[in-house]
Amino acid sequence: MKNIIIELLKDKIGRIGLIGVCIVILIALFAPVIAPYNPTEMFPQIRNEPVKQFIMGTDNYGRDVFSRIVYGARVSIIVGLISVGIGASLGIILGLLAGYFEGWIDNIIMRIMDILFAFPSILLALAIVSVLGPDLKNTIIAIGVVRIPVFTRTVRAEVLSVKSQEYVTSARSIGVKDNKIIVRHILPNILSPFIVQATLSLSSAILVEASLSFLGLGIQPPDPSWGSMLNESRKIMELAPWTAIYPAVAIILTILSFNLLGDSLRDILDPKLKNVE
C-alpha cells in the first residue's frame, strides 16, 4: 500500500486525483466542523448573493449553499462507498464462482449479468428506486445492484486468466481443495484490476446518486444532495445562478478526481494496459 501511494504521488495525474479525493473525504468527515450553518436552516436572506456571511450565497429557501455543499459531500461519499461495497462484494463472489467453476454455474451467473447489462445504469437504478421508494437506503441498494455486473465481469475475466497459470494447475494436481485455491492463489492475484474498478465505480455511483436526486428519486428534501440542489435551482437560475453553479462544480470535480485516481492506479497496478494505449 505504501508503495502504491508513493507511485501515485510521483505521477502528476495520480497526485491530482489523490489530493482531490482526500479533500472530498475530509470535507465529508468533518462536515459539522466545516459548515458554518445547519444545511436545513432557513434565513430571511432568500436568494442572497455570495457575501461574507454566506460565501456561496443562499438558495430559494434562504438556506446556506456552502453548508449544503459540504453536507452534500458526506451524502455522496456515503452513498458511493456503501453502494460500491455492495456491488463489489457480490460481484467478486459471483465472478469467482463463474470464472473458476465455469460450466452451468458460469452460464447461469453470466446470463443474469447480461440481463442487468441490457439496461442503462441510470434506467435500472430508476426502476429499482421506483419499486422500493425514494430514500437514502433504497438509493444505495439500487446503485449497488447496478454495479454488480461490472465487478462480476471484471473478476470473472481475471479468474479465467489466472486459473490457467502453472501454480494453480500444480495446486490442483496435488489435491488442494478448490476453496483454498481460490482464497490463497487466485484471489490475491486478481485484486489489482478489482481495486481499479472499485475506484472508477465510485465516480459512477456518485453520478448516479446525483442523477436520481435531481429527478426526485434519490435523497429527499430537505436533506442536502448535490443532485437535488441542482433540481431546486432550475427555476431560479437566472435570478440566482450560484445555486446551480456550485453544486455542479462539486459534482464535476469529485467525479474527475476519482477518475484521475482510477486511471493512475490502473497504470501503476497493470502497466501492460498503459503500454497498449
Is 36 within the bounds of a domain?
Answer: yes
pLDDT in tens, 82-119: 999 999 999 999 999 999 888 899 999 999 999 988 88
| pLDDT grade for 271, boundaries at 50, 70 and 90 | low
3-state class (DSSP) for residue 220: coil
In the chain, the number of structural domains is 1
Q: What is the mean pLDDT of residues 123-152?
A: 91
| Domain of residue 209, residue span | 23-250
Is 236 within the bounds of a domain?
Answer: yes
pLDDT in tens, 192-243: 888 888 988 999 999 999 999 998 888 888 888 999 999 989 888 888 999 9
pLDDT at residue 272 is higher than 80: no
3-state class (DSSP) for residue 64: strand
- Measure the CA–CA gap between 56 and 151, rounded to whole angstroms: 38
Greatest CA separation for the chain: 76
Task: Work out the number of other CB atoms within 10 angstroms of the CB of residue 28.
Answer: 20
3-state class (DSSP) for residue 58: strand
Is 11 within the bounds of a domain?
Answer: no
Rounded to the nearest integer, the mean pLDDT of the chain is: 89
Is 262 within the bounds of a domain?
Answer: no
- CATH code for position 246: 1.10.3720.10
Is 234 within the bounds of a domain?
Answer: yes
Instruction: Tell me how many degrees the CA angle 266-272-277 measures, rounded to the nearest 5.
Output: 80
Is the entire prediction scored with pTM above 0.85? yes
